[in-house]
Amino acid sequence: MNDELILAIETSCDETSAAVVRNGRNVLSNIVSSQVESHKRFGGVVPEIASRHHVEQITIIVEEAMKEADVSFADLDAVAVTEGPGLVGALLIGVHAAKAIAFAHDLPLIGVHHIAGHIYANQLTMESFHFPAIALVVSGGHTELVYLKEHGAFEIIGETRDDAVGEAYDKVARTIGLPYPGGPHIDRLAAEGEPTISLPRAWLEPDSYDFSFSGLKSAVINTVHNYKQRNEQLPINDLAASFQASVIDVLVQKTKRAASEYEVKQIVLAGGVAANKGLRTALKDTFAECDVEVSIPPLHLCTDNAAMIGAAASLKLRTKQFSGYDLNGNPGIDLEQW
């Protein structure tokens, strides 16, 4: 097989990223420009500001990715871009850039589902997928259990009914005075505390693989208020540890039950919260005694990046599932119809 080179672009939220990926596995470049400092003072991502930063950065980042990969546009086989979900204004910057490049250089255009990208980030570091598999997707906007019967066949078997897990982390962090993004700070404090505070675990119906974190978030807020009303010092490390223990317990146990019911050969972790050390450790420990492989991407491939979009796009390139120039940002795109 001849080498297939894909230029991939990711602008779904607050990272502007471009990458060149060979054969869906080898990352020749993966440039990421983060906007965290711009959004930190607001306590979250401001869509208008995110879009403006993408406009300023996109051409620079694409040029840097091409230069680092040491390839020309004539060497490329396709241009891939995140089609959705995400912030519509942010998505449009990447989509229009990809369409312009594809048109100018007569290259196939491939729209990619952002979550498919997170799942296929695993392909960049592991030998191969082993089907059937379950993907645990955990990020600021998504919490899902996805059954994969084969490549590209996604079936969502469980999803959050309210807050995504990353969203819950950020809201709890804000409540206890931690800066945005809150997830890494809570993960760090949890490692220094003990889960001594009783907090709820939302298991929902016995056969459900859905998630719910709004009640847990409310319980943390009430706990903080109770300590303040009693004029007592808040045990912030223990509260972080208790919150994280509740989250991880539900995520891991539902994943374990799904793995058993669907008789899967592999668990893949995906999304920005996949960088959480507590979750990574718990997932590995839980499946250590099982005949189920656990794949977890390295930290730099957990958060939004274009290399993961290139990995997922390789599937569509090989089956010639190309997009037209009417491709648009689609915040509501369906993973199962990716």
The tens digit of pLDDT for each residue in 46-68 reads: 888 989 999 999 999 999 999 99
Where does residue 263 rank: exposed (0-12), middle (13-18), buried (19+ CB within 10 A)? exposed
Binding residues for Fe cation: 114, 118, 304
Binding residues: 114, 118, 137-141, 170, 183, 187, 276, 304
**Residues present in the chain in total:** 338
User: In terms of Cα–Cα distance, which of 49, 117, 104, 71 is closest to 272?
Assistant: 117
pLDDT higher than 60, residue 7: yes
Give the mean model confidence (pLDDT) for residues 66-80. Answer: 98
Give the mean model confidence (pLDDT) for residues 236-249. Answer: 98
- The answer to whether the peptide bond before residue 132 is cis (omega within 30 degrees of 0) is yes
Indicate the pLDDT class of residue 1, thresholds 50, 70 and 90: low
pTM score, two decimals?
0.95
| Per CATH, domain 129-296 is 3.30.420.40 | yes
Q: What's the pLDDT score for residue 36? A: 74
Indicate the pLDDT class of residue 133, thresholds 50, 70 and 90: very high
Under CATH, which number does the domain 5-120+302-337 receive? 3.30.420.40
User: In terms of Cα–Cα distance, which of 252, 225, 253 is closest to 239?
Assistant: 225
pLDDT higher than 80, residue 191: yes
Binding residues for substrate: 137-141, 170, 183, 187, 276
CA–CA gap between residue 219 and residue 33 (Å, rounded): 36
Q: What is the mean pLDDT of the chain?
A: 95
Indicate the pLDDT class of residue 232, thresholds 50, 70 and 90: very high
Indicate the pLDDT class of residue 221, thresholds 50, 70 and 90: very high
All CATH 3.30.420.40 domain ranges of the chain, comma separated, are: 5-120+302-337, 129-296
Mind giving me the DSSP string for 186-245? HHHHHTTS---S-------STT---B--HHHHHHHHHHHHHHHHTT----HHHHHHHHHH
Half-sphere exposure of 121 (CA within 13 A, CB side): 31
The sheet with strand 15-22 has its strands ordered as 26-34, 15-22, 5-10, 78-84, 109-113
Give the mean model confidence (pLDDT) for residues 86-91. Answer: 97
Indicate the pLDDT class of residue 81, thresholds 50, 70 and 90: very high
- The answer to whether the peptide bond before residue 297 is cis (omega within 30 degrees of 0) is no
